[in-house]
Amino acid sequence: MSKKKPLVVVTRKLPDVVETRMRELFETRLNENDRPLSQAELVEAMKTADVVVPTVTDRIDSAVLSQAGPNLKLIANFGNGVDNIDVVTANNRGITVTNTPGVLTEDTADMTMALILGVPRRIAEGIKVIENGDWGGWSPTWMLGHRIWGKRLGIVGMGRIGQAVARRAKAFGMSIHYHNRRRVPETVEESLEATYWDSLDQMLARMDVVSIHCPHTPATYHLLSARRLKLMKANAYLVNTARGEVIDEAALIRQLDEGHLAGAGLDVFEHEPAVNPKLVASDKVVLLPHMGSATVEGRVDMGEKVIINIKTFMDGHRPPDRVLPSML
């Protein structure tokens, strides 16, 4: 008699090739409408499934976990970050949590570099001029931006993505600086010609561009607070492709409005999908709808990692991408 397939509930639509493979391997319940599950639907999934595959839009907190059924043993997150999941409570309840690290590194770094280029060079403003039919021809003093060659880039969070951004920025002639919980190996610093700052405050005050690449945790909530944003130079730019909660968005808007910061490039927002209307109205920012990792290749790679984590776990082994509370 064949072994019973585990019931896997997927909360959002995934690439067809990923969903097809899941159907081959598991008893899979898909979300064909691709809309976020309601709280009641998410709780129902937690009650009935052996495995739940959530995304960043699913808030699996202690209240949801308290209603998990006895069969739920694995939450295989479709995403690199796990700030949408109460990992500590899950661990205490004997539920394993996994994620999909590594596969989004290059895609997110590409988008970060696009913002690092796009904000100082006023690319979004230029597009609007063409779209609105307002271009009257070339002028030597019109739409002047700033070059990034020779500028200092301060990276907050020197993990995989931070290092990938550093490699790109170095190729564009930027000087690399970084702040991280732990100093990276000397060989990495040497290859990137990177300067380490143990004081985030001191680094922020000296950078021309600051790029955020740390996860959202209780320790990094509003890491760039009103006080720290005021430390930045008035001609500096801020880029965020990590998590919106890392920046005090209201304080950022004030800094921009009052001319204490030159501009910002944001792919994530503190209260997304809601975007503050003041950011939308500002001509000092480039805004993207959380698309830093949105490539076909990246999404398929994420799905393959989810499948490997589920298959390994169900075969009785430790999944390769298990997340423990001590890792947060």
% of the chain with per-residue pLDDT over 70: 99
pLDDT tens, 99-137?
A: 999 999 999 999 999 999 999 999 999 999 999 999 999
SS3 of residue 29 by DSSP: strand
Residue of 256, 199, 248, 239 whose CA lies nearest to 220: 248
Nearest to 116 by CA among 195, 233, 232, 207: 207
The number of helices, as runs of H, and strands, as runs of E, in the chain is 13, 12
246: CB partners within 8 A, 6+ apart: 156, 212, 214, 216, 220, 221, 222, 223, 224, 240
The owner of tokens 């994620």 is 99
Structure tokens at 195: 């300067």
Pair of tokens at residue 316: 């009785």
Record the tokens describing residue 310, joined without a space. 């589920």
Tokens of 27: 């008893």
Residue 33 has pLDDT above 90, yes or no: no
Residue 243 is a catalytic residue = yes
pLDDT of residue 2: 52
What does 242-291 look like in DSSP terms, one character per residue? S-GGGB-HHHHHHHHHTTSS-EEEES--TTTT---HHHHH-TTEEE--S-
Beta bridge partners of 152: 175
Q: Do the domains at 7-103+295-327 and 105-287 have one common CATH topology?
A: yes
What is the distance between the alpha carbons of residues 161 and 167, in angstroms, rounded to a whole number?
10
Q: What is the dotted CATH code of the domain comprising 105-287?
A: 3.40.50.720
Please list, residue by residue across 284-293, b when 16 or more beta carbons sit within 10 angstroms of its beta carbon and e when fewer do: bbbbbebebb
Higher pLDDT, 81 or 123: 123
Across the range 80-108, mean pLDDT stands at 94
Angle at CA of residue 104, ends 123 and 199, nearest 5°: 75
Assigned CATH for 7-103+295-327: 3.40.50.720
pTM for this prediction: 0.88
Domain ranges of the chain: 7-103+295-327, 105-287
pLDDT at 327 over 80: no
The span from the CA of 79 to the CA of 159, in Å, is 16
Question: Is it the case that residue 214 has pLDDT exceeding 60?
Answer: yes
Residue 50 β-bridge partners: none
d(C-alpha 174, C-alpha 167), whole Å: 10
Instruction: Judge whether 147 and 120 are in contact, CB under 8 Å.
Output: yes
Average pLDDT of 286-312? 97
What does pLDDT average to over the chain? Answer: 95
The answer to whether residue 290 is catalytic is yes
Given a cut of 70, whether residue 310 has pLDDT beyond it is yes
Residues 154-204 pLDDT 10s: 999 999 999 999 999 999 999 999 999 999 999 999 999 999 999 999 999
Predicted local confidence at residue 328, as pLDDT: 65
- Give the residue-averaged pLDDT of 130-150: 96
* CA gap 162, 78 in Å, rounded: 21
Note whether 313 and 74 are within 8 A (CB): yes
Percent of all residues in the chain with a pLDDT value above 90, rounded to a whole number: 93
- pLDDT at res. 1: 40
pLDDT at residue 178, rounded to an integer: 98
The CA distances from residue 232 to 82, 100, 115, in Å, are: 29, 33, 18
Q: Locate 92 and state its tokens.
A: 């205490």
Task: Catalytic residue, from 121, 272, 304, 322: name it.
Answer: 272
Of the candidates 29, 122, 168, 243, the residue annotated as catalytic is: 243
Q: Does residue 257 surpass a pLDDT of 60?
A: yes
Select which of 146, 290, 304, 322 is catalytic.
290
pLDDT at residue 93 is higher than 50? yes
